[in-house]
Amino acid sequence: RKEVEQDPGPFNVPEGATVAFNCTYSNSASQSFFWYRQDCRKEPKLLMSVYSSGNEDGRFTAQLNRASQYISLLIRDSKLSDSATYLCVVNLRNAGNMLTFGGGTRLMVKP
């Protein structure tokens, strides 16, 4: 079983739609959580950190459920420019600062 699991997609949605991605992680000792965005043939870039209280950044909302070991990302009013792969990432306190990535969920926003 992978440490961080995501539905690979692709999710094909029209512009303006709301789309949600989910992710589960296996290690209950995980301490911090992130969503990274990766465009085709580019490096991953931090989209947002994820906190237990939930957090919002513009059209993006991230939620963490520690009891269920579940992380979500909601994108409202999708734009063509949101098309990318979204990587769910966790960090273990006792593993230095190495990041453990899910396989990514691909989003395609269509006009």
Partner 1 sequence: GAGVSQTPSNKVTEKGKYVELRCDPISGHTALYWYRQSLGQGPEFLIYFQGTGAADDSGLPNDRFFAVRPEGSVSTLKIQRTERGDSAVYLCASSRGLAFPDTQYFGPGTRLTVL
Which amino acid would we find at residue 100?
A: T
Binder among 102, 108, 109, 111 for partner 1 (CB under 8 A): 102
Tokens 């919002």: give the residue. 56
Q: How near is the Cβ of 106 to partner 1 at its closest, in Å?
A: 9
Q: In what order do the strands lie in the sheet with 55-57?
A: 4-6, 19-25, 70-75, 60-65, 55-57
Among the listed residues 43, 53, 67, 111, the single contact to partner 1 using CB under 8 A:
43
Cβ 90 vs Cβ 27: under 8 Å: yes
Q: How far is the CB of 32 from partner 1 (least distance, A)?
A: 4
- Based on CB atoms, which residue is closest to partner 1, 40 or 111? 40
* Residue with smaller CB distance to partner 1, 42 or 110: 42
Q: How far is the CB of 92 from partner 1 (least distance, A)?
A: 10
Q: How far apart, in Å, do the first and last CA atoms of the chain sit?
A: 37
